[in-house]
Amino acid sequence: MTVKYEMTKNDKDNLLKYYIEGLSLNVMYSITKIPKRQITGFFKKNGLDLVKRYDVIENYFDNIDTSEKSYWLGYMYCDGFVGEGKYNNVVLSSIDENIIDSLISELIESGENCVKKQREPDGQISNFSTNTLYEMRFSNKHMKETLSEYNIVPNRKDRIFLDISVVPEEFRKYTLYGMIDADGSLEDNGVVSLYVTRLISESYIDFVKTLE
């Protein structure tokens, strides 16, 4: 007699996380060892479908040939990241819901497709914890690899500067606009500030100098 595996709360939380990350049924099974029938039953019970849920314009960033692509590349560099290893996530977080909706409309071709999450503030002192945070997250291997080549990476601590050589000179100012909208601010005196780590501050300065 086969004994049915009893899923724990941790199992269910992990399955939902893997679903958001776009993992396939086979990958979920290889990680959790929960029987595939129970995994599919869990998602069906919760109104979720394991089939592909979106159609991404996966070559969007292959050729940075418009001001819009240049802008979004700069924004993704500052506030986005891609998955590590076998995870093919492409993720952008922002306190501005319009930013998330705008990028979704740029990258997603059809369907309800892209996972959009909302996190409520937790009361701590920082932009991301005192404001509602919105997140775009989907899985696409080709776009993940393309963005990785441009130095948009899984771990921001390991970050090196964006490969600006992929952006034609006439569009580079839009890359800067995206960076400022993501990580910058406009002071009362009209000064624009861009908040960066010391590790890459000189690279930002060199980049801005090329726009003069």
Summarised one tens digit per residue, pLDDT across range 137-146 is 888 889 999 9
The Cα-based distances of 94 to 98, 164, 197 in angstroms read: 9, 23, 19
Confidence at 27, pLDDT banded by 50, 70, 90: confident
pLDDT at 72 over 90: yes
Summarised one tens digit per residue, pLDDT across range 6-16 is 899 999 999 98
Confidence at 131, pLDDT banded by 50, 70, 90: low
Tokens of 137: 């997250």
Query: Is 175:164 a contact under the CB 8 Å cutoff?
Result: yes
Average pLDDT, the chain: 82
Task: State the amino acid at position 168 in one-letter form.
Answer: P
| β partners of residue 185 | 193
> Taking the mean position of all CA atoms in its chain, how far away is CA 17?
15
Q: Give 159 or 17, the one with higher predicted confidence.
A: 17
Query: Is 115:180 a contact under the CB 8 Å cutoff?
Result: no
Q: What's this model's pTM, rounded to 2 decimal places?
A: 0.70
- Which value, in Å, is the radius of gyration of the alpha carbons in the chain? 20
